[in-house]
């Protein structure tokens, strides 16, 4: 049975009484003042991956060892990344179709985990720096890296699903925000503009231009709609490693001046908010939420810089966001 940590009883307890959620903590130290917000649920044990599936170096230990991976990828790496990215895009779309009121975020993790191993791939988030699940599920005010648990999805929620596949020695990374049942106009606008921001950033990818062009395009569009741009979490290089040293800011900063070159591969994944861009971290050291509790949305694509512009590796016909929506 799942625990719904957002639905308080009709009669709330006194401050020093045990919390209604069953955590064993006092109400004032647990849910007081947080009713309606996302709070930690129960996390089930880490799931196994069959031994016949190729695993990234961190899969068994959770320890990530960095190495100096070329920013400009070889044709062979790019060809393998196309497969991984296409797979991730397909799994993300199917996971989005699975979203509905009444299921838990852990149900989504099981669904994504099984889809990934059925395709002979390893779910990249699993045990990356010890992350315990195969997908990130970020609901409402959760900015990113939400851990699937017993949290129940409600009609009117929004949820970001972040899917990454490791196959044939490379990673493919993509995410999107989905509606849970009937969502109000304000949140539909948030999600729409966030997707637009992602494509504005993608449209700024051009060889021999600085990465800061991407952040400027995203921030300009968000400002136009009076929405916030999260600064603490950024896009990243990707390839044989899940994260490389390419850093893509989603706001303008002239210091983000690395020059884009054909063959570079990185993600663009703006997190756009209804309120402040500032964040708070949960005690799990993964889950980031907006400081004011207002909702946030995100979309992500893995992109390849070409001789003339950009090739969006996760935007094929199976993708949730296959083209510029604006």
Q: Are 227 and 277 in contact (CB under 8 A)?
A: no
**Residue 326 binned pLDDT confidence (cut-offs 50, 70, 90):** low
Average pLDDT over residues 71-82: 98
Q: Judging by beta carbons within 10 Å of its beta carbon (0-12, 13-18, 19+), is residue 318 exposed, middle or buried?
A: middle
Would you state the pLDDT for residue 324?
A: 58
Residues in the chain: 326
Would you state the pLDDT for residue 252?
A: 98
Q: Strand 142-144 vs strand 288-290: parallel, antiparallel, or unpaired? A: antiparallel
Please determine, for residue 255, whether its predicted confidence score (pLDDT) is greater than 50.
yes
- HSE-CB of 41 using CA atoms within 13 angstroms: 26
Would you state the pLDDT for residue 13?
A: 80
Please determine, for residue 5, whether its predicted confidence score (pLDDT) is greater than 70.
no
Q: Express as a percent the part of the chain with pLDDT over 90.
A: 86
Would you state the pLDDT for residue 28?
A: 63
- From 136, 96, 99, 91, select the one nearest 118 (Cα to Cα): 91
Looking at the chain, list the stretches that DSSP marks H as alpha helix, in order from N- to C-terminal side.
Answer: 75-98, 105-118, 185-203, 212-224
**Residue 29 binned pLDDT confidence (cut-offs 50, 70, 90):** low
Would you state the pLDDT for residue 33?
A: 55
Reduced to 3 states (helix: H, G, I; strand: E, B; else coil), residue 164 is strand
Give residue limits of the domains in the chain.
1-35, 72-312
Would you state the pLDDT for residue 15?
A: 77
**Residue 34 binned pLDDT confidence (cut-offs 50, 70, 90):** low
Fold (CATH) for 72-312: Creatine Amidinohydrolase (3.90.230)
Would you state the pLDDT for residue 1?
A: 38
> Which single residue is written with the structure tokens 């050291």?
285
Q: Give the model confidence (pLDDT) of 136-186 as tens digits.
A: 999 999 999 999 999 999 999 999 999 999 999 999 999 999 999 999 999
Give 108-158 as a DSSP string.
Answer: HHHHHHHHHHHTT-EETTTTGGG--SSSEEEETTEEE-PPP-SPBP-TT-E
- CA-to-CA distance for 186 and 183, rounded, in angstroms? 8
**Residue 17 binned pLDDT confidence (cut-offs 50, 70, 90):** confident
Please determine, for residue 82, whether its predicted confidence score (pLDDT) is greater than 80.
yes
Please state, rounded to an integer, the average pLDDT across all residues of the chain.
94
Q: What is the DSSP letter of 264?
A: B
Would you state the pLDDT for residue 6?
A: 65
- From 275, 270, 274, select the one nearest 232 (Cα to Cα): 270
Reduced to 3 states (helix: H, G, I; strand: E, B; else coil), residue 302 is strand
């Amino acid at each position: 049975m799942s625990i719904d940590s957002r639905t308080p009883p009709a009669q709330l307890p006194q401050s020093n009484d045990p919390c209604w959620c069953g955590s064993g903590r006092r109400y004032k130290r647990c849910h007081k003042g947080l009713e309606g917000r996302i709070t930690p649920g129960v996390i089930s044990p880490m799931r196994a991956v069959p031994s016949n599936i190729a695993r990234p170096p961190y899969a068994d230990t959770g320890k990530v060892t960095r190495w100096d991976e070329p920013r400009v990828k070889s044709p062979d790496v790019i060809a393998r990344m196309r497969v991984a990215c296409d797979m991730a895009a397909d799994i993300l779309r199917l996971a989005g179709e699975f979203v509905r009121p009444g299921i838990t975020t852990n149900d989504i993790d099981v669904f994504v985990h099984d889809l990934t191993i059925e395709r002979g791939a390893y779910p990249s988030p699993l045990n990356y720096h010890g992350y315990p699940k195969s997908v990130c599920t970020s609901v409402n005010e959760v900015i990113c890296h939400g851990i699937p648990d017993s949290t129940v999805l409600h009609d009117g929620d929004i949820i970001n699903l972040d899917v990454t596949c490791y196959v044939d020695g490379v990673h493919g990374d993509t995410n999107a925000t989905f509606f849970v049942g009937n969502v109000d106009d304000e949140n539909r606008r948030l999600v729409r503009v966030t997707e637009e921001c992602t494509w504005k950033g993608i449209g700024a990818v051009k060889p021999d231009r600085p990465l800061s062009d991407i952040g400027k395009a995203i921030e300009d569009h968000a400002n136009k709609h009076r929405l916030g741009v999260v600064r603490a979490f950024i896009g990243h290089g990707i390839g044989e490693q899940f994260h490389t040293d390419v850093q893509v800011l989603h706001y303008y900063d002239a210091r983000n001046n690395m020059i884009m070159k054909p063959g570079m591969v990185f993600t663009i994944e703006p997190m756009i908010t209804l309120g402040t861009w500032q964040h708070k971290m949960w005690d799990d050291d993964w889950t980031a939420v907006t400081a004011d509790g207002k909702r946030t949305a995100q979309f992500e694509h893995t992109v390849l810089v070409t001789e003339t512009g950009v090739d969006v590796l996760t935007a094929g016909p199976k993708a949730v966001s296959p083209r510029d929506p604006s």
